[in-house]
Chain A
């Protein structure tokens, strides 16, 4: 440790050969715990699919309330699995060094985008036409099904393209060092990658472009989802702040998911040399900032409704916060705002492994509670064509199938990421290696400091 308190990560003292050897070893040596994780995730996925069929699908689309927890798990996966790659995009654009081992941890979740995509298409049956009701689409032909589907397909395709382009140099390393079969998986995925100057230049630009498109598509898709599934389903609810709240809290969940994944990889994935205090410290600062943003956007929306206090707005407040879903809201404000604020305001908590991890777990639980609350709000209003929100529905409680399908589809997403880790190095080999020659420890009088090269 240097004298001013910064932690010097061990990874920067490794050689390119050691990093390549370690990366190929991590791919090849996925142990018994990994296999157990795959089996548990597969069982959960089957349970989720069976619960979806036996529960909501057999009951049909006539009662939207039946689909509440399918919507909730879809919301949760969009706010975590789909949001995590945005963190990778943002960190890449900022061009920091500490983020190099973190990027792949965040973007590997793009592999699981297929799960919320499937749920999205299953849920399309719950949407009536946008004709004659309040909607973002204003009765546009084919809305909301066609246009929101195009948005979702674009996001998922962009996510997979982003992950593939990022992982391609690592596929080449695995092609050459692990699987010599010219028709094997790694050879097919790497293609003719040789690592020429031009290939790296195109790779760098391409990754930036696709990443930015992913970010833009994510914001657009989440705006459409918040409008289609929540705002458009509650009569008289015309909030321009809610989509922003929805996107910002999803970013918060994406950061939390990355911290939890990093902690698990440190403990069980052999990545302790890469994911050190530097990474947890950086991520925890972002989690704290987004905890404060959570409150800002929630308050901005709440105070206007609370102050104007029209009768239907009083019903909003009762339905959203103070009556029907009071306890869920208490969990949300406690875990998404108070936990990051009171926990991560202390530097010794931020600069630790356990502190950010515990807060991140609480944030994920808070986001889950928030998405259940919002899915229940969007799914249980009976007359969505009414001009005002005059009748507050009662609390919607989950049944057995609801619990099983929620756990099952989260397990399916985790299982897909576990399978992806069998083929994609986490953390990235090439990205960690490329940071080696830009960062050195140097003596500065009696202190030891980190000297960082900035070639761009």
Chain B
């Protein structure tokens, strides 16, 4: 099923929440919209679907991989070239711990950075349906609904006092109702 997006931009929290209520009254669920803001709001403030992700898996996998590599380098080399010195144990554990710690941290770090990029679905080539007012403090309610219901979604978003409505046409072109002039450095 083809999906299309329409964005309503609202001046403050009250009108944005009113828009999500109107959206729900029109028969949509909380999985059908997203909220765009310039700062994080308390979870559930808009009655939105919580942003589920699996980022926690990445550092775990990275740390385990890094630890394994560290163990392979340290224990592997000592076992591959066994030199018994003064009858001491073959594996010299204290210096092994330092190197395994390095491997663990490095693996966790690399995988976490990759995880942040992957879970954010990066890189994307274009912003899509978007309005620059959002980073200036406005709140965007982004509806993503089946194409045959896009008019209902737009009508619901329009039913509340709004600053702008941004939509996309059949060709995928983004159409903004009110163009926005960036505030610039002198804002």
Q: Which residues of A line the B interface, CB within 8 A?
A: 15-17, 19-21, 24-25, 27-29, 136-138, 140-141, 143, 147, 150-151, 154, 157-158, 161, 165, 169, 172-173, 175-178, 180, 191-192, 194-206, 209-210, 213, 216-217, 220, 224, 429-431, 433-434, 436-438, 453, 455
CB contacts (< 8 Å) of B142 on chain A: these are 196
Contacts of A431 in B (CB 8 A): 39
CA–CA, A452 and B119, complex, Å? 31
In the complex, what's the smallest C-beta–C-beta distance from A256 to chain B, in angstroms? 27
Q: A143-B95, A194-B134, A433-B38 are in contact. List 12 more A-B contacts (CB 8 A).
A: A17-B136, A20-B137, A21-B136, A21-B183, A147-B98, A197-B35, A198-B34, A199-B120, A201-B50, A202-B53, A202-B55, A206-B116
Taken together as a complex, chains A and B put the C-alpha atoms of A217 and B63 apart, in Å, by 13
Measured in the bound complex, the distance between the Cα atoms of B113 and A154 in whole Å is: 12
Contact between A213 and B36, CB atoms less than 8 A apart: no
What is the interface size of chain B, counting residues whose CB is below 8 A from a CB of the partner?
60
**Alpha-carbon gap, A138 to B36, bound state (A):** 54
B40 at the interface (CB under 8 A from A): yes
Residue of B nearest to A201 (CB): B51
Q: How many angstroms from the CA of A368 to the CA of B38 in the assembled complex?
A: 40
With A17-B136, A138-B92 as known contacts, state yes or no: A27 contacts B41, CB within 8 Å: no
Q: Are B95 and A195 in contact (CB under 8 A)?
A: no
Judged by a CB distance under 8 angstroms, whether B29 is at the interface is: no
Q: List 17 A-B contacts (CB under 8 A).
A: A20-B38, A21-B136, A136-B95, A137-B98, A176-B134, A177-B187, A195-B134, A195-B140, A196-B142, A197-B50, A200-B37, A203-B116, A203-B120, A205-B55, A206-B55, A434-B41, A437-B41
Q: How far is the CB of B187 from chain A (nearest CB, A)?
A: 4
- How far is B55's CA from A198's CA once the two chains are assembled, in angstroms? 11
Which residues of the other chain, B, contact A194 by a CB distance below 8 angstroms?
36, 127-128, 130, 134, 140
Binds A, one of B101-109, B152-160, B170-178: B101-109
Smallest CB-CB separation from B92: which chain A residue?
A138
CA distance A192 to B124 in the complex (A): 6
> Are B137's CB and A15's CB within 8 A?
yes
Report the nearest B residue to A15, measured CB to CB. Answer: B137
Query: Would you call B101 and A220 a contact (CB within 8 A)?
Result: yes
Interface membership of B48, Cβ < 8 A: yes
CB A395 to nearest CB in B, in angstroms, measures 34
Are A178 and B184 touching (Cβ within 8 A)?
yes
| A296 vs B18: C-alpha distance when bound (angstroms) | 57
Please pick, from B39, B94, B113, B183, the residue contacting A169 in the complex, using a CB distance under 8 A. Answer: B39
Q: Are B51 and A199 in contact (CB under 8 A)?
A: yes
**Known interface pairs A140-B99, A161-B109. Does A206 touch B132 (Cβ–Cβ under 8 Å)?**
no
Say which residue of A25, A141, A196, A203 sits within 8 Å of B36 (CB atoms): A196
Asked if B137 and A434 make an inter-chain contact with CB atoms under 8 angstroms apart, the answer reads: no
Tell me, rounded to whole Å, the shortest Cβ–Cβ distance linking B122 to chain A. 6
Complex interface: chain B residues within 8 A of A201 (CB): 50-53
B48 to chain A, nearest CB (A): 6
List residues of chain A with CB within 8 A of the CB of B94.
138
User: What residues of B have a CB within 8 angstroms of the CB of A209 in the complex?
Assistant: 55, 59, 108, 112
CA distance A180 to B182 in the complex (A): 8
B38 touches A429 (CB 8 A): yes
Across the interface, which residues of A come within 8 angstroms of B169, CB to CB?
A: none
A175–B119 CA distance with the chains assembled, in angstroms: 22
